[in-house]
Structure 1
Amino acid sequence: MSDSLEIGLDVDSKEFVPAVVDCKAGDRIPNTKAGIAKWLKTLPPRCQVGMEATGRHHELVARMAGQAGHRVYVINPRLIKNYAKATGARGKTDAMDAQVIARYVKKESDRLREYVPRSDEQQQMHDLLRKRQTLVETRARLEQSFEVTKSAPGELADILQAMASTLSELESQLQQLGRDGEHGALYKRLLTIPGIGPAVAAHLVYYMTRWPLANANAWIACTGLDPRPNESGGRTGRRRLSKQGAPVLRQMLYMAAMGLKRCRGGQPLYDDLSGRGHSSTAVFNILARKLARIAWGVFKSGKDFDPALLKVGQARFLQA
């Protein structure tokens, strides 16, 4: 067997199916420490192992495979779905999905980012952020549901009060972890940026320190706020956001941009961009992208925010 074997895994909560390009898929492997350890002993060294991001189901096998010396890639499921369509996949089973992933890794491994396991602090931050987001989304759905049905307002008030209490506790834990954690100084510096509150700062700290990023452009691409060209022949279409990054990070930066408008100096910026013909949504996306760049500058410089960056017409701020 080759020492650069490409392996695709189709992972669920209880088991996973491994496959090698142009070979029959292997047996189902229990997605447990014992099952994974036994399977890893059968592999040659330095394999390339790919799998889709599946919530938390992929994390154990990804971490253990990395610790065993293999190169691990956790891939956006949308990329695998599109690749399967483009290559004419004729069906969908766990074994076929694992084969598609293996072929994708073989063709695209030089462009994929290797998986980096979270540190204990990053895992704690990740869990708190996920719980917070789940609670916020559930509360919004409940409010919308009760508003539509116009029923049981008393019950809704009790539920929302309990949720508010839980949310407050989660945010207190996030603030404490942000202040006292490894990147506490960065967390505090990010809070000096207008529009960025504790929840946004916690998201920024997590995502800016989660992976090694080459530069500010790589960071903006990570947020999904980077505009992509839309040109063909002599036609130049409207640029749109890539939306390739974490949706929750993009959402938090958008909310920070809305908060910036209410801060001192924020309204003139909003009016200036609106006066250029941008819609309200486009203006907030532009401001969100600029806030992300400013946050990156604070991160790399180790200095507090410079208010001069938010002056209307300031060249560095208005740079595309």
Structure 2
Amino acid sequence: MNKYKETFGVDISKDVFDVHGSTSGHNQYKNDATGFTKFLKDLPKASLVVMEVTGYYHYRLAQFLYKNGTVVSVVNPLSVKRFIQMKLAKVKTDKSDAKMICEYGVLNEVPLYTALTDMQSECLQLFRVLDNFIKHRTATKNKMHGEEVLGIPSKFTYRALRRNKKHYDIEIKAIEAKILSLVKEDQQQQLTLLTSVPGIGQKTALFLIIVTDGFSKFETASQLCSYVGITPTIRESGSSVRGKARISKVGNRKLRNLLFLCSFNASKHNKACRELYERIVSKGKSKKLALIAVVNKLIKQCFAIAKSGRPYDETYVSILPR
């Protein structure tokens, strides 16, 4: 049971959002500024509003409520889905989902939402567009290669693809420069500190700073590891079930992927990471497991450096807890 006067579960879609209050029941509002204002007026004091991560739709409402002093929680939709399955619910509508989200918020200790800064919001939007452009540029390059293998039967097609790739090159370069300038303006020192860690590239350092709000969102390195989704999960039951330990993967997938790519360089050029990698491999463990351990080590190094304000020191970092 939570400590709030009333808990509201919100199921939000493109045009409307359904709300279920723990004592006031169901209501529905338009998913626009007018609906947000009306919902805010209807909210009793000391209320908690719980909603799922739903791509773009939840963001505006969560930001609006937070900036107007309402306690908000944005929860993982998988957690709510498991809760609904546990309740053996047979009806699935927007109204019933709002009620289940409300019950989930009442019965569980949910994480509290912190609004994104203007810099974070713009940078995350830029990163999403950047990823999209990189994906399309790769597809265009692959298509160009296919045309070359065929001997370029259509020069018009090949020139069109080349122009398209050139356009993506220009846009990607501009977006990367914009992200860099925004972070430098706000977190120049942290960017310098993080890029001093062998294995951490500029793109990973930028994304780390943005999603952690300059590491202010986390008090311990373990919390950051959980956020990335790199903590192990154990599957054991009785004497017969002994599943392999795996990482949870319930976290920020993009950051996890960026750090995993960094682990390849870190296992060669970062002294502490190299020693850890070699020690695990020498015990007969898989290289992938060793690289996951390196990611964990990198996160702890970055966290320690960001919090201490000191640049990377090979002799100091090598004695961090393993």
TM-score normalised according to structure 2 size: 0.86
Cα distance, 1:211 vs structure 2: 5.8
Query: What per-residue deviation string (whole Å, max 9, x for no partner) do you get for residues 273-298 of structure 1?
Result: 32222323222222111111110011
- Cα distance in structure 2, aligned partners of 1:147 and 1:277: 40
**Secondary structure at 1:203's aligned position in 2?**
helix
**Secondary structure at 2:166's aligned position in 1?**
helix
Of stretches 41-50 and 245-254 in structure 1, the one that deviates more from structure 2 is 41-50
Cα 1:263/1:9, change in 2 over 3 Å:
same
- Cα distance in structure 2, aligned partners of 1:141 and 1:8: 41
Cα 1:185/1:271, change in 2 over 3 Å:
same
Of stretches 148-157 and 281-290 in structure 1, the one that deviates more from structure 2 is 148-157
Query: What per-residue deviation string (whole Å, max 9, x for no partner) do you get for residues 230-285 of structure 1?
Result: 23234543211011211001011011112324537576664443222232322222
Cα distance, 1:83 vs structure 2: 1.2
- Cα distance in structure 2, aligned partners of 1:246 and 1:268: 27
Check the 8 A contact 1:224/1:245 in 2, yes or no.
yes
For the pair 1:73 / 2:79, whether they are aligned, the reply is: no
**Secondary structure at 1:18's aligned position in 2?**
strand
- Cα distance in structure 2, aligned partners of 1:147 and 1:279: 35
- Cα distance in structure 1, aligned partners of 2:164 and 2:286: 37
What residue ranges of structure 2 are gaps of 5+ in the alignment? 151-156
- Cα distance in structure 2, aligned partners of 1:3 and 1:198: 42
One-letter code aligned to 1:282:
L
Check the 8 A contact 2:197/2:270 in 1, yes or no.
no
Where does residue 191 of structure 2 map in the other structure?
Answer: 187
Cα distance, 1:219 vs structure 2: 1.1
Cα distance, 1:180 vs structure 2: 2.0
Check the 8 A contact 1:270/1:283 in 2, yes or no.
yes
Cα distance, 1:51 vs structure 2: 0.7
One-letter code aligned to 1:40:
L
Check the 8 A contact 2:6/2:23 in 1, yes or no.
no
- Cα distance in structure 1, aligned partners of 2:315 and 2:159: 49
Check the 8 A contact 1:257/1:284 in 2, yes or no.
yes
Counterpart of 2:208 (choices 188, 204, 207) is: 204
- Cα distance in structure 1, aligned partners of 2:68 and 2:192: 37
- Cα distance in structure 2, aligned partners of 1:264 and 1:17: 51
For the pair 1:260 / 2:266, whether they are aligned, the reply is: yes
- Cα distance in structure 1, aligned partners of 2:75 and 2:144: 38
Cα 1:212/1:309, change in 2 over 3 Å:
same
Check the 8 A contact 2:263/2:295 in 1, yes or no.
yes
Cα 1:43/1:270, change in 2 over 3 Å:
closer
Cα distance, 1:145 vs structure 2: 7.0
For the pair 1:290 / 2:297, whether they are aligned, the reply is: yes
Cα 1:44/1:269, change in 2 over 3 Å:
closer
Check the 8 A contact 1:45/1:69 in 2, yes or no.
no
Cα 1:140/1:84, change in 2 over 3 Å:
farther
Cα 1:3/1:22, change in 2 over 3 Å:
closer
Check the 8 A contact 2:277/2:293 in 1, yes or no.
no
- Cα distance in structure 2, aligned partners of 1:171 and 1:256: 18
What residue ranges of structure 1 are gaps of 5+ in the alignment? none
Counterpart of 1:178 (choices 169, 177, 183) is: 183
Query: What per-residue deviation string (whole Å, max 9, x for no partner) do you get for residues 155-193 of structure 1?
Result: 443333322221111111122222221x22111100101
Where does residue 137 of structure 1 map in the other structure?
Answer: 135
Where does residue 217 of structure 1 map in the other structure?
Answer: 222
Cα 1:293/1:79, change in 2 over 3 Å:
same
- Cα distance in structure 1, aligned partners of 2:266 and 2:165: 27
Cα distance, 1:86 vs structure 2: 1.1
One-letter code aligned to 2:229:
G
**Secondary structure at 1:316's aligned position in 2?**
coil
Cα 1:222/1:119, change in 2 over 3 Å:
same
**Secondary structure at 1:69's aligned position in 2?**
coil
Where does residue 94 of structure 2 map in the other structure?
Answer: 94
One-letter code aligned to 2:40:
L
Identity %: 23
One-letter code aligned to 1:252:
L
One-letter code aligned to 1:90:
K
Where does residue 107 of structure 1 map in the other structure?
Answer: 107
Of stretches 43-52 and 257-266 in structure 1, the one that deviates more from structure 2 is 257-266
How many residues end up aligned between the 2 structures? 310
One-letter code aligned to 1:132:
L
TM-score normalised according to structure 1 size: 0.86
RMSD: 2.7
Of stretches 252-261 and 190-199 in structure 1, the one that deviates more from structure 2 is 252-261
One-letter code aligned to 2:288:
T
**Secondary structure at 1:212's aligned position in 2?**
coil
Cα 1:91/1:42, change in 2 over 3 Å:
same
Cα distance, 1:194 vs structure 2: 1.0
